[in-house]
Structure 1
Amino acid sequence: MNINLDIERRLLLPVDHARALSLLDDLEGTIGRFPNLKTLTRLADDSYLWQMRTMGVRIAKIAHDLSYAARYEIDRDAGAIRWQPLKGHGNALIGGEIRLAEKGAQTEMLFKVEGVMHDVPVPLLYRPLAGPFIVSKMTTLIERFLARTGEALATKIPVKTFPKKKSS
């Protein structure tokens, strides 16, 4: 069974836009916060293979070991990380975007993902429920990722800056 994903979530981060933009400087660190990520393998400078821990409930036989590859693009001007699926890797094609928008003294973080998980093994009896169930599990992981990212940004020790000396 194939399961389509089209999920969008937002979180208001308790940090200014400049601090939030540091997410763009450490792509591996940023995506490495995603819950249930088992391994992240670099395929090329801008491409990674994700391998996730089992998602779902094995006892109900609605479980899937998600694996996919994507090519990432960092758009500093737009405050965004975007990814496009790479065919021929894993069992899903997933693309998406993380976008940071200034909201006064805080930053809104948008996480959007769309794609398809292929060949999810689901017993015939559970097929009507499997799609919404797996999408719900993925939505929960995205919300946990947003919370982890907000916490990581909020607890970072600020870099001490010194005023510039005036020349006499």
Structure 2
Amino acid sequence: MAITVTIELNREIEIPGGFDEVFDLLADVPRSASHFPKVHQLTGLGDNAYRWEMEKVGIDKHAIQSVYACKYHANKDAGTITWEPIKGEGNGVVRGAWELSPKGDNVTSARFRTNAELTLPLPSLLKLAISPVVKHEFNGLVDIYMNNLKSAF
């Protein structure tokens, strides 16, 4: 048995760095991922595609791990970095985008949005209890990521 948890996030932040610096950091997936908490392993799959393996959460046989892969596309002229899921990689399907725009010389406005569907090997009876916990954890990780990005500049 398995349950699927859907998570949708939208964040808007101001990063204290120039547009070019911020774009270059976020478009470089390994550099950007180094600021994301609880990443167990990031594996390059070639052609700007990466598999994310997050740290396991839980104890022994009750531990769960999120694994997914995405292909990234960066368009500096449009100020966008998008990611699309690679099917058949792990237990998650994740897509999203960064939308960046300069706000003065040393500040960049950044809009982050992502949608994730995580399939977890748990009985369906646990969905009502587990869904809010997974969503809360994911929200917390993204909040830490945003703060880490701000601190990087």
TM-score, normalised with respect to structure 2: 0.86
Deviation above 4 Å: which 4+ runs of structure 1?
Answer: none
Equivalenced residues, count: 149
> C-alpha offsets along residues 84-134 of structure 1, whole Å, 9 cap, x if unaligned?
00111101111111222222342122221102101342572x431311221
Which one has the largest radius of gyration?
Answer: 1
Structure 2, unaligned stretches of length 5 or more?
A: none
Q: Is the 8 A contact 1:24 1:76 kept in 2?
A: no
Name the counterpart of 2:95. 95
Q: Structure 1 residue 116 and structure 2 residue 111: aligned?
A: no
Q: How does 1:1-168 map to 2 (within 5 A)?
A: 1-24=3-26, 26-55=28-57, 57-58=58-59, 64-105=64-105, 106-121=107-122, 124=125, 126-152=126-152, 154=153
Q: What is the root-mean-square deviation in Å for CA atoms of aligned residues?
A: 2.1
Q: Is the 8 A contact 1:24 1:80 kept in 2?
A: no
Give the letter aligned to residue 42 of structure 1: G
> C-alpha offsets along residues 2-34 of structure 1, whole Å, 9 cap, x if unaligned?
000111112211223233222255332112321
TM-score, normalised with respect to structure 1: 0.79
Q: Is the 8 A contact 2:27 2:81 kept in 1?
A: no
Distance 2:115 2:21 in 1: 27
Structure 1, unaligned stretches of length 5 or more?
A: 155-168
> C-alpha offsets along residues 128-160 of structure 1, whole Å, 9 cap, x if unaligned?
1311221111011111111111111x2xxxxxx
Distance 2:77 2:87 in 1: 28
Answer with 14-23 or 133-142: which moved more. Answer: 14-23
> C-alpha offsets along residues 45-98 of structure 1, whole Å, 9 cap, x if unaligned?
21111100024x549x5x520000111111111222111001111011111112
